[in-house]
């Protein structure tokens, strides 16, 4: 059966998505490539949550590494049975998948909140640094004529919407892949146990 190969494929995909999440989160810190907003703490509070770096990035590296190693994992045995290492490895991958689910879930939640709350910017209506769209419940996303209310950083609404949307999508894909591995790891572990009579 190809449970290990499936896990390895999922692992490599997770590695790619984790790198993209980290890059997208880092870009949120530098609107239009400018560093001064980060140094002046004039960024959305959701940007500072590190949801792409930690949640969608570092916490995804753990299950990715475990999944990639599964195809040829057959060490140590399990419960005194030398041939049952593969079964234990597959079942342990379920725990790693739950770590990935937690990380990607965090990335999804913060990205959704970042989109709903809107950017922190110098608003033309108040002539102050505020969240001009925080009471709109995300409706500002469909009202492009209001985006000009943010005067500084330039094009900050487009910047935030694009990057938070990318992080939301990537976090969703990571969540799905880790959920698939929960099922794959459980079925694969039970299958190996039955084949090698690891009882």
Q: What is the pLDDT along the chain (199 residues), one digit of tens a residue?
A: 456 688 889 999 999 999 999 999 999 999 989 999 999 989 999 999 999 999 999 999 999 999 998 765 554 444 445 445 566 777 788 999 999 999 999 999 999 999 999 999 999 888 899 999 988 888 999 999 999 999 999 999 999 999 999 999 999 999 999 999 999 888 876 766 666 555 4
Q: Is residue 101 part of a domain?
A: yes
Kindly state whether residue 113 falls inside one of the protein's structural domains: yes
In a domain, 189, yes or no: yes
Per the domain annotation, does 39 fall within a domain? no
Q: How far apart are CA 37 and CA 124, in angstroms?
A: 18
Tell me which residue range forms the domain holding 147.
3-34+48-70+86-196
Q: Is residue 57 part of a domain?
A: yes
Please tell me the pTM assigned to this model: 0.86
In a domain, 24, yes or no: yes
Q: Pick the closest to residue 8 from 71, 89, 86 (CA basis).
A: 71
Alpha-carbon span 21 to 164, nearest angstrom:
10
Quick one: pLDDT at residue 177? 96
- pLDDT at position 1 is 47
Domain for residue 176, yes or no?
yes
What is the residue-wise DSSP string for the chain?
Answer: --HHHHHHHHHHHHHHHHHHHHHHHHHHTSGGG-SHHHHTT-S-TTGGG-IIIIIIIIHHHHHHHHHHTTTT---S-BTTBGGGHHHHHHHHHHHHHHHHHHHHHHHHHHHHHHHHH---EEETTTTEEE-TTTTTTTGGGG-GGGGGGEEESTTHHHHHHHHHHHHHHHHHHHHHHHHHHHHHHHHHHHHHHHHHT--
- Which pLDDT score is estimated for 86? 64
Q: Give domain status of residue 143, yes or no.
A: yes
What pLDDT sits at residue 77? 47
Domain count, the chain: 1
| pLDDT recorded at residue 185 | 81
């Amino acid at each position: 059966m190809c449970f290990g190969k499936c896990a390895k494929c999922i692992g490599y995909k997770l590695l790619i998505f984790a790198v993209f999440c980290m890059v997208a989160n880092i870009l949120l810190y530098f609107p239009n490539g400018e560093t001064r907003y980060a140094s002046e703490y004039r960024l959305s509070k959701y940007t500072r949550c590190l949801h792409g770096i930690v949640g969608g990035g570092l916490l995804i590296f753990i299950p990715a590494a475990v999944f990639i190693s599964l195809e040829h994992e057959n060490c140590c045995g399990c419960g005194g049975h030398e041939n049952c290492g593969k079964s234990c490895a597959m079942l342990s991958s379920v725990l790693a998948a739950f770590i990935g689910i937690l990380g990607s879930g965090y990335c999804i939640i913060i990205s959704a909140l970042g989109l709903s709350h809107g950017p922190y910017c110098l608003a033309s209506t108040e002539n102050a640094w505020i969240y001009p769209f925080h009471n709109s419940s995300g409706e500002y996303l469909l009202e492009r004529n209001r985006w000009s209310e943010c005067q500084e950083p330039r094009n900050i609404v487009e910047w935030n919407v694009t990057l938070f949307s990318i992080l939301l999508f990537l976090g969703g894909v990571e969540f799905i892949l880790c959920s698939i591995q929960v099922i794959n790891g459980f079925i694969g572990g039970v299958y190996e146990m039955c084949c090698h009579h690891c009882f």
